[in-house]
Amino acid sequence: MKTDIRSMTLEELTAALKALGEPAFRGKQVFTWLHRGVRSFDEMSDISKPLREKLAEAYRADGLSVARKQMSQADGTVKYLWELHDGNCIETVLMQYRHGNTVCISSQVGCRMGCAFCASTLGGKVRDLTPGEMLEQVLFTQLDSGLSVSNIVLMGIGEPMDNLDNVLRFLELVNHPLGLNIGMRHISLSTCGVLPGIRRLADMELQLTLSVSLHAPDGETRSRIMPVDRAYGVDELFEACHDYFKKTGRRISFEYAMIDGVNDAGWQADLIVKKLRGMPGHVNLIPLNDVAESPLKPSRRVRQFQRRLEEQGVTATVRRSLGGDIDASCGQLRRKAMEQEREEREK
């Protein structure tokens, strides 16, 4: 098995090249090429042929390939289904906003969190993504689309806190001045509420934006739709969020998918207000995306719920839904591709 070279930090690359008898600057050269998106060592024109051959024997630099690509006619959102070197598939979504282009990347192949409304988790988790595979989603989306990416959200398939070591290394890579150089303030990480991860991030005091998928402020409802709540209860979650704010000074964004008759009652808005007191939270109301496999239906009370929060001083926005015509949400494209493959096989 060859080593995934795009997962290596500059320091590691430099050390590895030194061990091959190369001068210190060689690490920088190779790192720069890799982060520009070359797919083979032969493209590294200022590296000698013998060294390129040596590298190709030990390392893999090929990256992701496009398995499928869909573009929304309505808003220019592009969705990529990438094939990884082992045949697994993941999704990346590119969204064009006024404030810049944002990519939504995956952190795992599948997910083991089991949220009742989410398509990404239906088949469980297959494996973690490497730091290089996360980087490549940003890199090759940029190269393929010709659009430069200014913001990254870790809101695709997978639970970033369930793969935190790799995610942290990815952040270091994507942040590097010789690489894509995307600043922490332009990166959001979303979690369903894995507390050890939130606490670890709080202690690191990174300047990224933390998003918490709340979806219900009361344990009874939340544990019904999000199994993670049975391991880390919602009151503990709010406590960790308050602590996160105290340590980092960063406002947390709470994701809230509005589900008919489940989490859209007035008292639930009131409870959110109460639990956020003392912390400048922001609630992002998302009209539930209909997932065919799920009995949960979109709420009709989104505006009312928003008003109720705002009247009590909690800022709440209703997320503009992009890419609705191309399954650009929550693991739906990967799901569809897997189903089609199965149908093909069964024919």
By CB under 6 A, name the binding residues for ligand SAH. 113, 115, 117-118, 155, 159, 190-192, 213, 255, 257, 286, 288-289, 291, 330
Closest CA to 197 of 229, 165, 245: 165
Residue number with CB closer to ligand SAH (38 or 122): 122
Q: How far is the CB of 43 from ligand SAH (least distance, A)?
A: 34
Q: Which of 22, 91, 133, 136 is catalytic?
A: 91
How many angstroms separate the CA atoms of 219 and 230, rounded?
A: 8
Residue 113 or residue 164: which is nearer to ligand SAH going by CB?
113
Least distance (Å) between residue 152 CB and ligand SAH: 13
Nearest to 279 by CA among 236, 316, 314: 314
161's tokens: 């806190």
**CA 119/CA 316 separation, integer angstroms:** 25
Q: What beta strand segments (E) does the chain contain?
A: 3-4, 59-60, 65-71, 78-83, 89-97, 100-104, 108-110, 125-128, 149-154, 187-191, 209-213, 253-258, 282-287, 315-318
The distance of closest approach from Cβ of residue 217 to ligand SAH in the complex, given in angstroms and rounded to an integer, is 15
Contact yes or no for 326/71 (Cβ under 8 A): yes
Contact 336, 327 (CB under 8 A): yes
Q: Which is nearer to ligand SAH, 14 or 190 (CB)?
A: 190
CA-to-CA distance for 5 and 148, rounded, in angstroms? 23
Taking the C-alpha atoms of residue 127 and residue 334, their distance in angstroms, rounded to an integer, is 15
Residues 6+ apart with CB under 8 A from 311: none
Report, in Å, the least distance between residue 308 CB and ligand SAH.
20
Q: Closer to ligand SAH at the Cβ: 76 or 324?
A: 324
Report, in Å, the least distance between residue 50 CB and ligand SAH. 44
Contacts (Cβ under 8 Å, ≥6 apart) of 331: 91, 111, 118, 119, 120, 121, 122, 156, 157
Of the listed 89, 192, 241, 330, which one is catalytic?
330
Q: Does 57 qualify as catalytic in the annotation?
A: no
Q: What angle do CA 67, 329, 234 make, to 5 degrees?
A: 130
* DSSP 8-state class, residue 162: G
Residues with Cβ within 8 Å of residue 24, at least 6 apart in sequence: 14, 18
- Element (H or E) spanning 171, and its range? helix 164-174
Whole-number minimum distance, CB 22 to ligand SAH, in Å?
40
In angstroms, give the least distance from the CB of 69 to ligand SAH.
21
Residue (64 or 192) nearer to ligand SAH, CB: 192
11 carries an active-site annotation: no
Q: Which is nearer to ligand SAH, 10 or 90 (CB)?
A: 90
Rounded distance, CA 161 to CA 200, Å? 10
Select 38 or 337, whichever has its Cβ closest to ligand SAH: 337
Residues with catalytic function: 91, 330
